[in-house]
Amino acid sequence: MSDTNVTLKLFGEKCDQLLGESEIRFAGIVDKDGKLIAGGFKEGLTPYEGDETRLQSFLEFVSKASIRKEYDESLGPINYLAARRDKAVLVSFPFPITQILLLISAEPTANIEILAKKVIEIFTNVN
């Protein structure tokens, strides 16, 4: 198995771990072109109407926004971007070196800070 396949398998496993959290509806790894390369919707979940078609354009937007670096020198790099909407909380975590990002969609009741800590815990754990 190539290094890329091993990495994608690991990312898929980490996304599955996140999907085990009750409030998380979607956890996926997106490349710099906005293409989903690992993870997805929680099994058995019915996406909101139009979720999957809107998701692609949203993935492209988030991947471009998260990888931008114009304020890195003065403010530091982006740790995560979060948006709270009526029906969902959306949080993206850029991995700038590899130019991919983790995108999470959760129930609107989700606490963004607790969610961010859980993501960091899962993605920094090498096991």
The model's pTM is 0.82
Between 60 and 36, the higher pLDDT residue: 36
Instruction: Put residue 99 in one of left, alpha, beta given phi > 0 → left and psi -120 to 50 → alpha.
Output: left
Tell me the DSSP string of 8-27. HHHHHHHHHHHHTSTTEEEE
User: In the chain, which ranges are E strands?
Assistant: 24-30, 36-41, 81-84, 89-95, 100-106
CATH 3.30.450.30 for the 3-124 domain, yes or no: yes
pLDDT number for residue 6:
84
pLDDT at 24 (0 to 100): 94
Q: Which amino acid is at 60?
A: E
Tell me the pLDDT tens digit for each residue of 32-52.
Answer: 777 889 998 898 876 665 656
User: What phi and psi, each to the nearest 5 degrees, are found at residue 106?
Assistant: -135, 170
Q: Is the dihedral of CA 64, 66, 69, 70 positive or negative?
A: positive
Quick check: 95 pLDDT over 90?
no
Domain borders along the chain are 3-124
Residue 77, token pair as written in the block: 């790099």
Q: Is residue 116 predicted with pLDDT exceeding 60? A: yes
Mean pLDDT of the chain: 83
Q: How far apart are alpha carbons 114 and 125 in whole angstroms? A: 17
